[in-house]
C-alpha cells in the first residue's frame, strides 16, 4: 500500500482570493465582462493545464490561473469559492466508491 502525502495548509487562501477579486474589480473584469467570457478564459486555462500535464511540466501556474478565473466567475454570480466548494463537498462527502482504471466508480456500481 502506498502512502500519499496530503497537503492541507491553506490558511492564506481566503486572503489570496480576496486579493484576486479586488484585482479583477480594479481592472473592470467583474463588472465589465461576462461570466460567458470568463468561462471561455477558463477553457483556455484548462487547455494550458492539460498541455503542461501531458508534457510533464509543473502545473502550478495553470492551476493558479484556473483558480483566478473561477474566483472571478463566482464573484460575478455573488458567490465565493468557499460557497462553491462547500456546496460541492456536501454533494460528495457521503459518496463511496473507488478509482478503477482512472474512473471513479460509485459503490453501488461496483
Cβ-Cβ contacts under 8 Å for 56 (sequence gap 6 or more)? none
| Cα end-to-end span (Å), the chain | 21
Domain count, the chain: 1
Tens digits of residue pLDDT in 38-69: 999 999 999 999 999 999 999 999 999 999 99
**8 phi/psi in degrees, rounded to 5:** -130, 25
Largest CA distance in the chain: 51
* 8 domain residue, yes or no: no
Tens digits of residue pLDDT in 64-97: 999 999 999 999 999 999 999 999 999 999 999 9
* 5 domain residue, yes or no: no
The number of angstroms, rounded, from the C-alpha of 90 to the middle of its chain's C-alpha atoms is 16
* 3 domain residue, yes or no: no
Residue-number span of the structural domain to which 87 is assigned: 13-109
Residue 68's domain is classified under what CATH number? 1.10.287
* 33 domain residue, yes or no: yes
* 2 domain residue, yes or no: no
Amino acid at each position: 500500500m502506498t502512502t500519499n502525502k496530503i497537503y492541507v495548509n491553506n490558511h492564506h487562501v481566503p486572503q489570496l482570493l480576496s486579493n484576486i477579486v479586488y484585482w479583477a474589480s480594479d481592472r473592470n473584469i467583474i463588472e465589465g465582462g461576462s461570466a460567458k467570457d470568463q468561462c471561455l478564459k477558463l477553457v483556455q486555462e484548462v487547455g494550458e493545464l492539460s498541455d503542461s500535464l501531458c508534457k510533464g511540466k509543473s502545473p502550478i501556474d495553470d492551476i493558479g490561473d484556473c483558480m483566478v478565473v473561477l474566483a472571478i466567475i463566482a464573484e460575478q454570480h455573488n458567490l465565493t469559492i468557499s460557497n462553491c466548494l462547500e456546496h460541492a463537498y456536501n454533494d460528495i462527502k457521503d459518496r463511496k466508491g473507488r478509482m478503477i482504471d482512472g474512473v471513479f466508480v460509485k459503490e453501488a456500481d461496483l
